[in-house]
Amino acid sequence: MGEEYGRVVAVREFDPNKDRDRVEAVERICEVGPSGKLSLFTDLLGDPICRVRHSPAFRMLVAEIGQEIVGMIRGCIKTVTCGKKLSRNGNNSHFIEPVPVYTKLAYILGLRVSPSYRRMGIGLKLVNTMEEWFRDNGAEYSYIATEKDNLASLMLFTNKCGYSKFRTPSILVNPVFAHRISLSQKITIIQLDPSDAERLYRRCFATTEFFPRDIRSILNNKLTLGTFIAVPSGSFSPDTWPGSDLFLSDPPESWAVISVWNCKEVFTLEVRGASLVKRTLAKMTRIVDRALPFLQLPSIPNFFRPFGFHLMYGLGGEGPEAAKMVKALCGHAHNLAKQRGCGAVVTEVSCCEPLKLGIPHWKMLSCAEDLWCIKRLGEDYSDGSVGDWTKSYPGLSIFVDPREF
């Protein structure tokens, strides 16, 4: 309970049976994202908590004045890699290998306050209440993602809540065209089963920052459409694939991997604020692309009404041709998204990710510098010690959890 400007504000647990319609009404009137960019539009499933319910521990709170819901917040907790330490291999004491250092991390998303009730401390009250739950459940750090030009959000989290700027990844968006993308004959793409994909990720990416300890549950989630590895043609095929362990013992010179998450089943996006002229021109590109698909012309999907998208996550690879392998995987993901009626393929990577050059995207739809802010909630009880994670230098890569996108 709290009283702001003479009005009693109650913060309580979200009740899907009585709160869903009122929460969705607040979502609709809260602008998320600048005009002309991709912005969260509506929850396709009619379940406001669906974006975090796939996480190990999650919660949603609402702020209420009288019988009116005026704000909401979502949060979840998981265990992730926050660094690495060197350890001697048990079978060979002379061989030193890096091993992951884990920490319990909380994530805040979906903070909304009705425009009529802003600057009343409601957002701060929601954040403080959620952080109490984080601490009670052993979270050592909390982080949020926001746009760098969202001054109101930055002021709240950095000035009032004690968060600091931490990482600046890039969100890359590529439209799904009316034609399929032709893939290189020099590259073979193989789909891995979830257990094989897990072994590959744990061996290659377990020390990558933000790598989730429960990667198995993500790969086995019904929203993961598959994990795909690209290799030079002639090296392996689906019939001769030896499994990740044997593959990694003698890999080809270059290879790459991604997984695909079906965000279309969670929420939809739309582009707002486009003029009639831009809408008409975009429609013409689709008409031409459908009429002459062999020309492979880039067309603009109908982004001006709600559409679904797929998220590529777990991107990685090695070798001088790895970026080309990534490009082929992105083409495969595009064709999968087209088959499923999506409007875009999206990924988020570290700003200094070496494989970023292989990811096709449109700058006008992408965000070159997203902003993650972090806060230390208490003492560091992580599995091993990296000191204060909030003061650590960024690595080349990050592992973006699709459950929180």
Give the global pTM.
0.88
Residue 312: phi, psi to the nearest 5? -90, 125
Q: Output b/e per residue, 338-350; b: 16+ Cβ within 10 A.
A: beeebbbbbbbbb
Q: How many CB atoms sit inside 10 A of residue 196's CB? A: 19
pLDDT exceeds 50 at position 159: yes
Q: What is the pLDDT of residue 35?
A: 43
Q: What is the pLDDT of residue 379?
A: 63
Sign of CA dihedral 215, 216, 220, 221: negative
- In CATH terms, the superfamily for domain 2-167+371-385+400-404 is Gcn5-related N-acetyltransferase (GNAT) (3.40.630.30)
Mean pLDDT of 337-353: 94
Domain definitions of the chain by residue range: 2-167+371-385+400-404, 172-358
3-state secondary structure of 237: coil
Mean pLDDT of 227-237: 96
Mean pLDDT of 298-327: 92
Confidence of residue 41 (pLDDT cuts 50, 70, 90): very low
Top pLDDT among 93 and 389 is at 389
Confidence of residue 294 (pLDDT cuts 50, 70, 90): confident
pLDDT exceeds 60 at position 38: no
Pairing of strands 141-147, 268-271: unpaired
Alpha helices, DSSP H, located in 141-243: 151-154, 194-205, 215-219
Confidence of residue 20 (pLDDT cuts 50, 70, 90): confident
Q: What is the pLDDT of residue 93?
A: 56
Q: Among 3.40.1350, 2.60.120, 1.10.3470, 3.40.630, name the CATH number for the domain at 172-358.
A: 3.40.630
pLDDT exceeds 90 at position 348: yes
Structure-block tokens of residue 167: 């990482």
3-state secondary structure of 122: helix
Domains 2-167+371-385+400-404 and 172-358 in one fold: yes
Q: What is the pLDDT of residue 187?
A: 97
pLDDT exceeds 90 at position 339: yes
Top pLDDT among 290 and 52 is at 290
3-state secondary structure of 236: strand
